[in-house]
Amino acid sequence: MNDAAREQAWVRDAQAGSSQAFGHLVAAHGQALRAFLRRLTRNTAEADDLAQDTFVFVWEKIARCDPQWPFRSWLFGIAWRKFCQSRRGWRRMLLRESRHAELRDPVVTVDPGLGLGLDLDAAMTGLPPEQQAALLLCLGADFTHAEAA
């Protein structure tokens, strides 16, 4: 049995309630999913929390997964949406805190021309989140361009 057929069988078995089959799916994709989320969040603990939230959601909604389509694409799409939801919540909190801080503290600016070298993280930071995710999926998780899209 090839990998795709094995994965389809795991999805069907998980849909029938097999926690062992779901465990196989987690084992097959967990490391790549965490790596993707770590690059997006730049925070190991936050990435691990998002990965856990993703797998809990996937277990609860596994019936929605079409075994004929790649499970990995469905899984990473859910992880991307979980990341976006976390960013929206984080931005709201930062906005509340910054409004409060403006009342207490003067604004401090940092000169961006301090001689910091250009690296992958800096380049990624300049991209919109959707492009960051697509790049990470292609380079870090071996997705094709179509899968990443």
Number of domains in the chain: 1
Segments forming the whole domain that contains residue 138:
3-107+116-148
pTM: 0.65
Tokens 């989320």 locate to: 37
Question: Over the stretch 9-44, which tens digit does the pLDDT of each residue have?
Answer: 999 999 999 999 999 999 999 999 999 999 999 899
- Give the CATH number for residue 49: 1.10.1740.10
Separation CA 111–CA 12 (nearest Å): 55
Q: What is the mean pLDDT of residues 79-104?
A: 69
**Residue pair 60/14 in contact by the 8 Å Cβ criterion:** no
